[in-house]
């Protein structure tokens, strides 16, 4: 605008002193560059600390938990004596059922004695002490086998029995001769005998699918405990959450974002949804206890109730992420649809929703993952059922039957006294983390895959 030639004769920049050169950094520039480098160093250090923590966590979890996936087994040939199991010899199932697990204990002792004789081992142990190397579930395993197939009575059958948790600990290095000095469950002589059996290949440590797919076991038998049934409980709950939270959340978001008038009422609703997302989960638990169990009389410990409580918890997450992804669809798309004569609903369902779908999907999966790892509300509604038999013949086969959930099961194990349960708690955490990482990866993949540009 102004005429440049009038003042164009002066120096270009008054701040620049005579003799300054671009080839040399001024003190001010040096300070500024140093500050920049310092800040970058802080950032790298912060990331480094974060990564280090993550590495420690991962190493810790896997170091402590991987042991739960292997288990010590004892292979024995058991002669199923007719004289003990079916005295009348008529294979009447009702008569065979009358023999309790105590009646099977002598068979195991006999199997050990036979093994000692076969291998030519020298030991002072009584056969009772030998049998104590096995899990307390061993006689029950025998009995289940015989009841399933009574015709095997009188034959000699090979079995793989779970070893006692002390023997298992000895195999995994958790138990040593020093650590058992005050332990009444096992003696040094028994460990010596176990060493002989390990030498002979009778005692082996192998992968144990029962930990992943099996049911929980009592305090006395940590070696038999598994995550399977609580996994089923979590699965049922996620089913309930998905079936309720997704349609309700998406419908609420679409209405609030696209149709509702912007007034004080919708403002209040919006603020409350945001607040709800920040409510501690235990509050939802006590709400579930008061409303679903005490007032509506739904069964305690049922995945249905757990799912309802987790739905309440997940709804705000889904609503917030759905609204955010609806908001991110450019308004020009809505204008375009309305401009060619689409109704509001057609514009939303034909154009806006497909574009927002990846975001909605991602939000839902992340909400589900959050719900999957939630423990506190489940404790309040009793989702810590002790289920010791496998589905489908257990009680834990439906939405209304008592069950547990993965994080609640981990909490239960961590609470128990036997150190063998501690290992299982870490193992359970690995399984839970595998689920969470899988779900989050799925969320990322879906977002990448369906993300569209406009």
N-terminal to C-terminal alpha carbon distance within the chain: 40
CA atoms of 191 and 186, how far apart (whole Å): 8
CB of 257 to another protein, least distance (A): 13
Answer for which of 248, 298, 333, 388 binds another protein (CB under 8 A) is 333
Q: Distance of CA 256 to CAs 261, 317, 319, Å?
A: 8, 15, 10
* Helix%, strand%, coil% for the chain, nearest 5: 65, 5, 30
350 binds another protein (CB under 8 A): yes
Q: Which is nearer to another protein, 130 or 254 (CB)?
A: 254
335 binds another protein (CB under 8 A): yes
Do residues 310 and 241 lie in contact, with contact meaning Cβ atoms separated by under 8 Å? yes
The residue among 57, 61, 64, 56 whose CA lies nearest residue 172 is: 64
Q: Which is nearer to another protein, 179 or 346 (CB)?
A: 346
Kind plus residue range of the DSSP H or E element containing 34: helix 27-65
Phi-psi sector, 364: left (phi>0), alpha (psi -120 to 50), beta: alpha
CB of 358 to another protein, least distance (A): 12
Answer for which of 51, 58, 336, 437 binds another protein (CB under 8 A) is 336
Size of the site for another protein (CB under 8 A): 23
The residue among 175, 212, 171 whose CA lies nearest residue 73 is: 171
Answer for which of 172, 334, 416, 447 binds another protein (CB under 8 A) is 334
Q: Which is nearer to another protein, 63 or 339 (CB)?
A: 339
452 binds another protein (CB under 8 A): yes
453 binds another protein (CB under 8 A): yes
Choose the binding region for another protein from 56-64, 179-187, 301-309, 348-356 (rule: CB under 8 A).
348-356
Q: Calculate the CA 112 to chain-centre distance.
A: 39
CA atoms of 131 and 118, how far apart (whole Å): 17
CB of 259 to another protein, least distance (A): 11
Residue 368 token pair = 């589900």
Choose the binding region for another protein from 137-145, 302-310, 346-354, 438-446 (rule: CB under 8 A).
346-354
Could you say which residues in the range 354-393 bind another protein, by CB under 8 A?
Answer: 355
Q: Which is nearer to another protein, 235 or 338 (CB)?
A: 338
361: buried, middle or exposed (CB in 10 Å: 19+, 13-18, 0-12)? buried
CA atoms of 162 and 203, how far apart (whole Å): 10
Could you say which residues in the range 262-281 bind another protein, by CB under 8 A?
Answer: 262
Q: CB under 8 Å to 288, separation ≥6 — which residues?
A: 305, 306, 308, 309, 312, 377, 380, 381
The residue among 241, 234, 323, 318 whose CA lies nearest residue 277 is: 318
CB of 347 to another protein, least distance (A): 9
Half-sphere exposure of 164 (CA within 13 A, CB side): 18
342 binds another protein (CB under 8 A): yes
Answer for which of 100, 294, 332, 438 binds another protein (CB under 8 A) is 332
Q: Which is nearer to another protein, 280 or 330 (CB)?
A: 330
341 binds another protein (CB under 8 A): yes
Choose the binding region for another protein from 231-239, 281-289, 330-338, 404-412 (rule: CB under 8 A).
330-338
Site string for another protein, 56-95 (x = CB under 8 A): ----------------------------------------
Answer for which of 346, 415, 444, 445 binds another protein (CB under 8 A) is 346
Choose the binding region for another protein from 13-21, 139-147, 171-179, 339-347 (rule: CB under 8 A).
339-347
CB of 449 to another protein, least distance (A): 15
CB of 448 to another protein, least distance (A): 16
Q: Which is nearer to another protein, 93 or 261 (CB)?
A: 261
Do residues 352 and 343 lie in contact, with contact meaning Cβ atoms separated by under 8 Å? no
69: buried, middle or exposed (CB in 10 Å: 19+, 13-18, 0-12)? middle
343 binds another protein (CB under 8 A): yes
Q: Which is nearer to another protein, 416 or 447 (CB)?
A: 447
Binding stretches for another protein (CB under 8 A): 261-262, 330, 332-344, 346, 350-351, 355, 452-454
């Amino acid at each position: 605008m102004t005429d440049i030639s009038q003042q164009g004769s002066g120096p270009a920049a008054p701040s620049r002193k005579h003799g300054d050169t671009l080839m040399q950094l001024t003190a001010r520039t040096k300070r500024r560059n140093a500050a920049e480098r310092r800040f970058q160093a802080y950032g790298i250090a912060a990331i480094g600390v974060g990564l280090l923590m993550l590495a420690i966590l991962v190493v810790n979890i896997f170091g402590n938990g991987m042991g739960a996936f292997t288990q010590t087994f004892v292979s024995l040939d058991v002669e199923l004596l007719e004289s003990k199991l079916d005295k009348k010899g008529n294979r009447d199932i009702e008569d065979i059922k009358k023999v309790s697990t105590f009646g099977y204990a002598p068979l195991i002792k006999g199997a050990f004695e036979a093994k000692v004789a076969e291998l030519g081992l020298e030991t002072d142990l009584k056969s009772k002490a030998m049998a104590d190397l096995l899990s307390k579930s061993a006689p029950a395993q025998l009995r289940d086998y015989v009841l399933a197939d009574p015709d095997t009575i009188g034959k000699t059958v090979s079995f793989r029995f779970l070893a006692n948790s002390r023997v298992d600990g000895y195999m995994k290095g958790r138990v040593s001769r020093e650590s058992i000095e005050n332990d009444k469950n096992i003696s040094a002589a028994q460990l010596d005998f176990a060493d002989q059996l390990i030498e002979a290949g009778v005692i082996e440590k192998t992968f144990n699918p029962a930990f992943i797919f099996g049911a929980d076991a009592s305090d006395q038998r940590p070696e038999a405990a598994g995550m399977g049934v609580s996994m089923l409980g979590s699965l049922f709950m996620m089913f309930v959450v998905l079936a309720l939270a997704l349609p309700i959340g998406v419908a609420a978001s679409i209405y609030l974002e696209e149709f509702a008038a912007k007034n004080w009422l919708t403002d209040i609703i919006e603020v409350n949804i945001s607040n709800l997302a920040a409510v501690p989960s235990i509050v939802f638990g006590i709400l579930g206890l008061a409303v679903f169990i005490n007032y509506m009389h739904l069964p305690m410990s049922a995945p249905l109730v757990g799912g309802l409580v987790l739905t309440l918890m997940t709804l705000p997450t889904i609503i917030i992420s759905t609204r955010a992804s609806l908001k991110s669809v450019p308004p020009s798309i809505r204008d375009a649809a309305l401009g060619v004569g689409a109704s509001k609903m057609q514009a939303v369902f034909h154009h806006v929703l497909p574009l927002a779908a990846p975001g909605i999907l991602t939000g839902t999966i992340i909400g589900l993952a959050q719900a999957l790892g939630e423990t506190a509300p489940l404790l309040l509604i009793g989702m810590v059922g002790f289920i010791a038999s496998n589905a489908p013949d257990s009680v834990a086969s439906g939405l209304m039957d008592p069950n547990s959930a993965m994080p609640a099961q981990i909490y239960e194990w961590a609470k128990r006294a036997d150190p063998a349960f501690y290992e299982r708690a870490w193992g359970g955490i690995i399984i839970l983390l595998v689920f969470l990482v899988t779900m989050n990866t799925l969320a990322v993949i879906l977002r990448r895959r369906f993300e569209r540009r406009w």
